[in-house]
């Protein structure tokens, strides 16, 4: 299979992306591009390769074959270089006891070092974006499951990444 070159504007580019676990073919030569500003998702039954694909994109697992570029980089060689340009939220929401929504969306010294984020402004903007501004002072522990999920998405965006994934 011929692979097309990475499009410079594609945030995620996959051609013939394959993942094997021994004799098990988990991801079978998939092709896709995710463009800037696009919402993109994988749908399919259990065992279809959705998680295996996301693990390759997130540098948790190496591809067995094909081409994968994320933010113009090879995840195997450059994956740890995603750093500030990558936001991720896990499928399980974790909350720190006695932590407010506002504090959860506040840049840490580490994320502030990546980007020039005005520390006082980011939490308000993020909470407004995920429609939780009225819950800013509420303890995360007492938010509904859907509210916690939205807060997790806001947290993934705190460093203003070029791309963000949720799994």
pLDDT band, residue 7 (cuts 50/70/90) = low
Instruction: Give me the percent of the chain exceeding a pLDDT of 70.
Output: 72
List the single range of 30-34, 61-65, 90-94, 137-141 with lowest mean pLDDT. 90-94
Query: Is pLDDT of 111 > 60?
Result: no
pTM exceeds 0.85, yes or no: no
Q: Where are the domains of the chain?
A: 10-81, 88-166
Query: Is pLDDT of 112 > 90?
Result: no
| pLDDT score recorded for residue 42 | 83
How far, in Å, are 22, 30, 93, 101, 126 from residue 152 at the CA level? 35, 28, 7, 10, 11
Side-chain-side CA neighbours of residue 83 (13 Å):
9
Question: DSSP secondary-structure letter at 23?
Answer: T
| pLDDT score recorded for residue 1 | 45
Residue pLDDT, tens place only, 25-72: 999 999 999 888 777 788 888 889 988 998 888 888 899 999 998 888
User: CATH homologous superfamily of domain 10-81?
Assistant: P-loop containing nucleotide triphosphate hydrolases (3.40.50.300)
Residues 5 and 110: their CA atoms lie apart, in Å, by 34
Query: Is pLDDT of 113 > 50?
Result: no
């Amino acid at each position: 299979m011929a692979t097309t070159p990475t499009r410079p504007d594609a945030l995620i580019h996959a051609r013939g992306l394959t993942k094997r676990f021994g004799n098990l073919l988990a991801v079978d030569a998939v092709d896709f591009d995710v463009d800037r500003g696009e919402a993109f998702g994988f749908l399919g039954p259990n065992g279809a390769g959705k998680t295996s694909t996301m693990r390759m994109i997130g540098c948790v697992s190496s591809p067995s074959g094909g081409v994968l570029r994320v933010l113009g980089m090879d995840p195997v060689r450059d994956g740890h270089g995603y750093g500030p340009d990558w936001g991720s939220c896990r499928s399980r929401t974790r909350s720190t006891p006695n932590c407010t929504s506002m504090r959860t969306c506040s840049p840490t010294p580490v994320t502030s070092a990546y980007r020039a984020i005005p520390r006082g402004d980011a939490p308000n903007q993020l909470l407004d974006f995920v429609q939780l501004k009225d819950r800013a002072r509420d303890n995360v522990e007492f938010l509904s499951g859907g509210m916690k999920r939205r807060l997790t998405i806001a947290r993934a965006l705190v460093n203003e990444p070029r791309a963000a994934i949720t799994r």
